[in-house]
Structure 1
Amino acid sequence: MLVKVKNVNKEWDGVKLFEQVTFEVKEGERLALFGRNGVGKTTLLQGLTGRLPFDGGDIQRLLPIEEWGWLDQQAQMDSSLTLLEFVQAGTAELFCLKRELADLTLRMQEQETGEKMLNRYSELFERYAQLDGYSWEIKAERCLRKLNFDSKVWNVPFSQLSGGQKTKAQLASLMVREPKLVVLDEPTNHLDSAALDWLEQWVKAYPGTVVYVSHDRTFIDRTATTILELERNGCRRYPGGYTEYRAQKELELRTQEALYKKQEQEREKLLESIRMYSEWFQQAHKAAGQHDFLRSKSKKNVSRMHAKESAIERLDRDKVQKPREEAQLRMQLDTDGFAAATLLRMEDVGFAYEDQVTLFSHLSFSVDRGDRIAVLGPNGAGKSTLLKLATGSLAPITGKVSIHPQTRIGYFEQELGKLENEETILDSLLMLPGMTQSHARTILGCFLFPKEEVFKRIGDLSMGEKCRVAFLKLFFGKANLLVLDEPTNYLDVSTREKVEEALQHYPGAVLLVTHDRYLVRKGANRLLIMDGKSEPSLFPGTYDEYCSKDRSRALTTEEQLGQNERERLQLRLAQLMGSAQPEDPAEQQQLMQEIRRLRKQISDFADESQ
């Protein structure tokens, strides 16, 4: 056992985050801390590492804090450090020795060296050699190479690195030190697919214990041995990854619903019996008059009634709570319709930023009605640039981008820069024509902005809240082409699943950049591959089919039949997407129902293949 937590609680600005949280961290575990945005997962991690005090409860750290290591969402470190220095600074004693040796060497070169300075240098050098400092320096450089950091960026200030590079730098620092307990807060944020694959392998193979927070369901499935679900009134442990957790939660919900229903039926029977005995007593007592024997007999009904009342008290004491559903995003994306087959076309497009290497030079593809195209590739390959070309925010250097006159684009930016920070959430809706305050507040409730939260300034919102505001804009846009750049980055799992559901039922086309593999698997029927090395290429199939191309074994007969059926459904879907839109509204409705049915069947195939 490494950590024991008992009944800890925490408030923030007078609001309860969590209470009565009790759990243990066992040696060798890969424990995923799971829960909704705002429940206090980051706060709990900071309390575990001693950087934030709890308001009550007890925590026993059976492993010295010096043998802990952690990765934060926002790295707080001396901004003057270079990348290499940041990685080395994780091993504090060796880093301080190295700096003092370098400083002393410089002073010895610039001024006369006295005996005191020589003795100090000899003392430092001996300690540095004793701690194997030079092997440590080689290890730090090896870790940076392993994480694909070119030596050209080793001396770049840490503050100038991208979000993904900062995450990898923190991981490199942990790799060099190898603490016995590692605490990671959203380690998958900003990482591309190659870095995610590497991180999964590293977490699985790490010789110590790992506690982490992540909303990446694939990452949790592949690495977690235990999920600890944090709620406001405590926490609960579940063995396995996200898939096992989800199945167990559904079983719990069904069981609780059945027990609650049985309990309410039993309560109704008891109440009916109490009413009946009460009526019998009143009637018998009245009929008995002053006859002692009959009066005594009527009192038996009172005894029976009291027995039933005691039974109700026991039922209330051990009662099963009615299953309570958490508030969830309720969103339906709609469009004004689109009659033509093609919304957007790129022909031989090339682009490069000023004084930089060309990102791509011969990109050609089209977005057709009903398409779900996911753009995959490493950070820096030009995925966000491609989306800006598609929306007209950037113009190509070569080639042509053609947008159909009827195409109405809804654009979700990764940086969320188009939001008006000075407006309140409510005011942003009241500016719409014909919008009333009551209607606006109803809609905001569907987007998880209840009561007084509607008066928050957009600039004061968390990133997850800003994402919901951005989706609110898409909700009213009636776009027939959604261009989405990392739309689920800051959302918790339950909200991500609602966004997936809304996109699956959206009747328009989608062009999507995301590292969320669940979202790609659920929401894409074609892929645009941008590996940053060769020209972008289209893959005419799903994410699972793309991954299956790397299989070293042949498909079984059952798998082959399944793949054939899936391809048949996709062909039928493509035919319907390419057909002219009927003029008759009833026929339009019938067409959309058929398209949704086919999408559901294709999605079910994808689920079965996981």
Structure 2
Amino acid sequence: MTVILQVKQLNKSFGERDILKDISFEIRNGEKIGLVGWNGAGKTTLMKLLMGSIQPDSGSITKFQDSLKIGYLPQSTDYTIHTDQEMIEEAKDLLRTTSELGLVKSITKEGASSDTLSGGEKLKLALAKIWTQTPQLLCLDEPTNHMDMKGVNWLVSELNKFAGAAIIISHDRYFLDMTVSKIYEIEDCRLLEYEGNYTAYRQEKKRRLDQQTRDYGKQQRKIKMIEDQVANLKQWSEKAHREAGKRDNPGERKQMGLKEFERVKAKKKDNQIKSKTKRLEIELFKHKVEKPKEEVQVKFEFETDGKRGKRILEAKGLTKQFDARLLFEKSHFYVKHGERIGLVGENGAGKTTFIKMLLDQEAITRGSLWKSSSLKIAYLSQEVSDLPSNKTALEYLDLVGWERISKARTIFANMGMQEEKLTKPLNTLSLGEKTRVKLVHMIMQEYDVLILDEPTNHLDLPSREQMEATLCTFNGTLIIISHDRYFIEKLCDKLLVIENNRIKRVETGIKEYEESKGVQVSSSEKETREKLAILEARITELLGKISMLKRDSQEYSDIDNELLKLMQLKKELA
């Protein structure tokens, strides 16, 4: 494939803080690349450098096509749409694209205003605008944030048909698995490359870490053995030097040349010490294995105040209407204590409105919505712009007592948020950092119901996975709105579905629900799934074998090559 963009030895710092160091890579026509890393690692900075909106401190970015057209979606929760101009220039294409995205509102001056469009609908319009420009390279920063599953599936389909290249920052594992064939990870200011989709990247990263851990262990044992030998030689050398330095006495005169013998022995021991020390230095210089860096374990601590009874929430004939616009009507459902409920529906269907009704922030049009009066509810909204901009994170938490402040600082540290960030105004923090502040605020409360509205938006991938694991152990009730399919599949075994202007309770997870709606699996799809299952079994087997081999062995090389081929084949089948 033809190289369309090349990055060489790129460096970028902000003040004394290094962001990117010696970054080099190429983007070829047709490649779809996922860009991952912790929040604050430098992903958005790299994308801005590619776009030319900021300049590197050193290094080069070369475009091999003078007229290379780049479509850029910035990371934002508020997209500015100049509707009148777009309607004049590109109305036909824009209307078609937004229709495919599932945007039900007509694009008019009133209909596309910031007041009437949800975050997901604004994002769809921004994506539609990019698509009508027929770019050759797409730079997408969190394209699926706030997007419903219909929109995500449309974008997956379009990217797979797109002949150009794309580099995508995303924390949606399902989306990355379905679209990219290569992962670039930014870690400690450096860029590492992995072949395959997100799942393949996680497997390979774990394999590399396991191998590095074993190699480091072997090297440490070898270092200790040589250091022990050197310590023994030093003891013998010191003894020989002492013997050689003793004054003459009658006993020594009987053994002529003893002092000279001890001097020679001491010198020999000194040479052995120098030799072994030099050999160790050369070995470490040529083949030093760095101590494996442990991935930060994000700790989310949730507590629940015990059971409140079987049914904690019940709706009868629930109806919500804004003037002539009907969201849902005649809806009957309930929620029991301890259930994990996924609230699903297309953008604009009324998910967030229903949550506001549940929190008494929005009036009910008709019907009733009962909830237990003893419930303590924690709510994480999808907006982070409502934080007080002039306050620091610690001021916002408003904690009293050393123990609680210390606990909050520990949670922030576990989530990879630096101590210095806690004393800076909230308006200087990134979207991911603001989300962390909201999460810590929730964690410091005592509650038995968690309402999470797009909780993974702006969270990096390790944080999403750790949050999943922790929520699996939460004993209270979960009500989750999320377009992260893996997140919903993992956590929710019950659904509240907003569809055809009704909210209905479904007694299964999202996968089973979609299958029950009559989505038929063709014989070719079944065959593909069987092939994928066989491939995954073989990949797992080879990963187990290679982990026991030395890197420089022929068998290691053969298995490594086979793994690369199998992962590529798996990507093609998927």
1:67 CA drift (Å):
2.7
Specify whether residues 66 and 445 from structure 1 end up closer, same or farther in structure 2 by C-alpha distance, changes over 3 A only.
closer
**What whole-Å deviation, never above 9, does each CA across 1:399-440 have from its counterpart, x for those lacking one?**
222211321111111224664444322223444467565455
1:27 is the counterpart of 2:5:
no
Q: Aligned residue for 1:269? A: 225
CA distance in 2, matches of 1:464, 1:222: 24
**What whole-Å deviation, never above 9, does each CA across 1:478-497 have from its counterpart, x for those lacking one?**
11111111111111111111
Q: Aligned residue for 2:127? A: 171
1:193 is the counterpart of 2:149:
yes
Partners of 1:335 and 1:508 within 8 A in 2? yes
1:544 is the counterpart of 2:511:
yes
CA distance in 1, matches of 2:30, 2:186: 21
* Range with bigger deviation, 168-177 or 199-208: 168-177
1:264 CA drift (Å):
1.0
- Residues 204-243 of structure 1 correspond to what in structure 2 (within 5 A)? 204-243=160-199
The structure 2 residue matched to 1:365, chosen from 321, 333, 337, is: 333
- Residues 417-496 of structure 1 correspond to what in structure 2 (within 5 A)? 419-432=387-400, 437-496=405-464
Specify whether residues 87 and 335 from structure 1 end up closer, same or farther in structure 2 by C-alpha distance, changes over 3 A only.
farther
1:369 CA drift (Å):
1.8
1:375 is the counterpart of 2:331:
no
Q: Aligned residue for 2:363? A: 395
**What whole-Å deviation, never above 9, does each CA across 1:536-582 have from its counterpart, x for those lacking one?**
222211223223332335999xx9xxxxxxxxxxxxxxxxxxxxxxx
* Range with bigger deviation, 254-263 or 284-293: 284-293
CA distance in 2, matches of 1:348, 1:150: 25
1:315 is the counterpart of 2:283:
yes
The structure 1 residue matched to 2:206, chosen from 236, 245, 250, is: 250
- Residues 543-582 of structure 1 correspond to what in structure 2 (within 5 A)? 543-549=510-516, 550-552=519-521
CA distance in 2, matches of 1:68, 1:384: 34
The structure 2 residue matched to 1:411, chosen from 362, 379, 389, is: 379
Partners of 2:392 and 2:422 within 8 A in 1? yes
Question: Which one-letter code corresponds to 2:5 in the other structure?
Answer: V
Q: Aligned residue for 1:143? A: 97
**What whole-Å deviation, never above 9, does each CA across 1:303-340 have from its counterpart, x for those lacking one?**
22222101221233232111113444322101121241
Q: Give the paired residue count.
A: 508
CA distance in 2, matches of 1:65, 1:86: 25
**What whole-Å deviation, never above 9, does each CA across 1:438-492 have from its counterpart, x for those lacking one?**
4553344334443222212234432212211211122122111111111111111
1:506 is the counterpart of 2:474:
yes
Greater share of residues in helix: 1
Specify whether residues 230 and 434 from structure 1 end up closer, same or farther in structure 2 by C-alpha distance, changes over 3 A only.
closer
1:347 is the counterpart of 2:303:
no
CA distance in 1, matches of 2:473, 2:121: 36
1:162 CA drift (Å):
4.1
Q: Aligned residue for 2:106? A: 152
Q: Which structure 1 segments of 5+ residues have no match?
A: 89-136, 560-609
Q: Structure 1 length normalisation: TM-score?
A: 0.77
The structure 2 residue matched to 1:324, chosen from 273, 283, 293, is: 293
CA distance in 1, matches of 2:522, 2:391: 57
CA distance in 2, matches of 1:398, 1:178: 47
CA distance in 2, matches of 1:288, 1:434: 64
Q: Which structure 2 segments of 5+ residues have no match?
A: 246-257, 530-573
Where 2:466 maps in the other structure, the secondary structure is: helix
1:288 CA drift (Å):
4.7
* Range with bigger deviation, 319-328 or 48-57: 319-328
Percent identity, aligned pairs only?
31
Where 1:64 maps in the other structure, the secondary structure is: coil
Question: Which one-letter code corresponds to 2:161 in the other structure?
Answer: A
Name the Cα RMSD after superposition. 2.8
Partners of 2:95 and 2:107 within 8 A in 1? no
Partners of 2:42 and 2:189 within 8 A in 1? no
**What whole-Å deviation, never above 9, does each CA across 1:32-69 have from its counterpart, x for those lacking one?**
11111112212211211222211111111112244332
1:140 CA drift (Å):
4.9
Partners of 1:349 and 1:362 within 8 A in 2? yes
Specify whether residues 395 and 147 from structure 1 end up closer, same or farther in structure 2 by C-alpha distance, changes over 3 A only.
closer
Partners of 2:327 and 2:501 within 8 A in 1? no
1:17 CA drift (Å):
1.4
Question: Which one-letter code corresponds to 1:376 in the other structure?
Answer: V
Q: Aligned residue for 2:39? A: 37
Partners of 2:73 and 2:127 within 8 A in 1? yes
Question: Which one-letter code corresponds to 2:32 in the other structure?
Answer: R
Where 2:472 maps in the other structure, the secondary structure is: helix
Specify whether residues 152 and 159 from structure 1 end up closer, same or farther in structure 2 by C-alpha distance, changes over 3 A only.
closer
Question: Which one-letter code corresponds to 2:123 in the other structure?
Answer: T
Partners of 2:77 and 2:119 within 8 A in 1? no
Q: Aligned residue for 1:52? A: 54
